[in-house]
Amino acid sequence: MIYEQAMTKNCHMDECELNTKAFSNIISLFNEYDHKPSREMLKALKEIIETLTAMAFGKADNKYFLSSIDPGVGKSTAIIQWLRVFLESTDSALEGVGVLIGLERYEEIQRFVDECKLVPDQYAVFVKEDHPLNDLGCGKYGANKAKVLFTTKAQIRIKSAGKHFKDVKQFYYKDKSRQVRIWDESLLVGKALTINRTAIGSLLETVEKWERSTGEKKVLDILEKLLVDLKKYKDGEVFQFPDLRVSLNEALRIFENSTPDRKDYAETLWLMSGKAVTVRNQDGFTLVDCTEDLPEDFAPCLITDASGRVRETYRLQEAERKNLVRLKTANKDYSNLTIHVWRRPRGKFSFNNRDSFDEIAEEVAKVINSKPEEEFLVIGFKPVDRYGRDNIEVAIKKRMTTNPERVKFTHWGKHTATNQFANIPNVILAGTLFYRTADYEAIGRAAAGRTTTKGIFSSNEITRVKHGESCHHILQASCRGAIRKCIGDSCPKSDLWLIASPITGVEALLPVIFPGSRIILWMKDKNTLKGKAKEAFEYIMGRFREDEDLEKITEVEVRKALGFRDNYMFRRDVLNKKEFIEMITEKGIVVKEGGRRRNEFVKVNFKYSPN
């Protein structure tokens, strides 16, 4: 139950009126825009309204309330309509009640402000110094008089660091803490901590200069010894981080003129100071732990994250912190969605990056050219090459033979919280976002509040977090297009193309992300196999056909069957043939690397298992 007497005969009339009027406004708006969510979706939206009202009247438990309705159903609309009715209320019980809305990016604040259509004296914006958003509404320095305050999630974390939230005056309304708190999209209540040897090494020069200028000899020797000691530790072992003998605030002053990355490294390093941390050496020597990032009294708070139903982080928070309540959700039927999966090799056998980039651009252009009258949205990685050689937009347009104006582009990092492309029926994910193994562990620990001293984080748990984050990114990116829309409990007819190596497990997650969707293979043109590569392919596929329970075939078995005495010749004539790797990958067979002569051909199970 969200609050003690919600929507009962004992309910205060103005509570009921607030809920009823806000919900009525939502229905009217949906009718106006011909938006047709299902009955269950409407019930879930109604519970968002009831939760906000509960917070406003001080009846919500000190919990995080998670609404995980799918993108495009109307979570933001529900909040906006509730805000308008709330601001019209003359109930004396609401006179001193303020609202705090935390968003990810500045453009999201501007969009939310525009959509709310509030009058200037009703709201304010609090962001970093000298940003023009601070001038909106009552102005940053008039925030105490504004009933609604918009800010970034980063500002909430920064201003409340080391404090009780009730003491953070920057977010006050009429000299007291705002009791209606809304966190838009993703929330991780803890702070994930990771730092590798390279990052630690990049700090040594600044530390050395500081010690020379001050005469202090506190930190440099400790860090240099730490880098040597780390090499002795195995994956998963606990490392007792030395006390750096300088406070975090002093450390931040030492690095105040450094690059943003190095400031972050320094903060992470000092947050680990004196603590037990976990060593991960799968991606280079990396130290992993977590710390608290939001005040304990920040709850109650409403979280609106469509990815809540697929992310492992919320399950960990719910199970271990026991401060998360899931609001009603509603299943969305994606049977009108066709997903085209390109099973593409990954890792050592994916061949060089330049060839991969050109090949992806070529295949994406072919897909776009095949529908010359339809719009497309392409989501790829942000270019980082100074000469633009990794600019996927330029590469695709160069290969197109049809009108390029109908194709829109955005990149990972901007793949959430925008409705700009909501009418586009075709979405292409030109690459998928992944983190390092250590990052997934740190994220999971932060969600659960499980520091190294509280216990291990198993490989199974890391995999679950990895899968949850993959689901999150794919759901959010895909739903920038028309997939997000609702026709009853369904999406409109849409197509999604994505690239997924079988080894990542992404293909098995698609029925979880998009229940009811149709999944087919995105087939690219290939050259015909010849010679020993063809023989190897036929031998491997024949073995798996003959024995359905067979899970793997060793490279040695294949070499012997084909009469190869020389490992070099087998690699030259089979393993190093691009077409061979592509064809076995397309059949769901991956090469598991195991060092010289120890490779295995492994059959991937595409059925999803939560374990």
Distances (CA, A) of 321 to 13, 153, 180, 295, 445: 35, 21, 21, 14, 11
Instruction: Please check whether the two domains, 13-189+295-326 and 531-603, share a CATH topology.
Output: no
Convert the pLDDT of each residue in 275-334 to its tens digit: 999 999 887 789 999 999 999 999 999 999 999 999 999 999 999 999 999 999 998 999
CATH level 3 topology of 337-521: Rossmann fold (3.40.50)
H or E stretch including 102? Answer: strand 99-103
Asked if pLDDT for residue 239 goes beyond 50, the answer is yes
- CA-CA distances (angstroms) from residue 233 to 120, 220, 240, 290? 58, 21, 11, 20
Nearest partner of 331 among 50, 78, 44, judged by Cα = 44
CATH class, 531-603 region: mainly alpha
**pLDDT (0 to 100) of residue 459:** 94
Which CATH number applies to 13-189+295-326: 2.60.40, 3.30.450, 3.20.20, 3.40.50?
3.40.50
Q: How confident is the model at residue 438 (pLDDT cuts 50, 70, 90)?
A: very high
Give yes or no for residue 387 having a pLDDT over 80. Answer: no
* Residue, of 593 and 439, whose pLDDT is higher: 439
The whole-number pLDDT of residue 432 equals: 84
Residue 347 has pLDDT above 60, yes or no: no
Task: Look at 339 and 562; give whichever has higher pLDDT.
Answer: 339
Which of the four pLDDT bands, split at 50, 70 and 90, describes residue 3?
A: very low
Distances in whole angstroms, Cα of residue 136 to Cα of each of 87, 110, 142, 146, 454: 18, 9, 10, 11, 45
Cα distance between residue 588 and residue 13, in whole Å: 61
pLDDT surpasses 80 at 389: no
What tens digit of pLDDT does each residue of 560-575 get?
888 888 788 888 888 8
Q: Which residue has the tokens 């073995």?
A: 543
Q: How do the domains of the chain map onto residue ranges?
A: 13-189+295-326, 190-292, 337-521, 531-603
For strands 172-173 and 123-126, give the pairing: unpaired
Max Cα distance, the chain (Å): 88
Closest C-alpha to 58, from 112, 29, 96? 96
Question: Which pairing describes strands 99-103 and 123-126: parallel, antiparallel, or unpaired?
Answer: unpaired
- Listed range (110-124, 164-178, 289-303, 577-591) with the worst mean pLDDT: 577-591
What average pLDDT does this structure show over 343-366?
A: 75
Burial 542-580 (b: 16+ CB within 10 A, else e): ebbeeeeeeeebebeebbeebebeeeeebbebbbebbeb
- The pLDDT assigned to 597 comes to 58
The DSSP secondary-structure symbol of 284 reads: B
- The pLDDT score that the predictor gives to residue 578 is 81
pLDDT of residue 42: 95
Residue 183 DSSP label: E
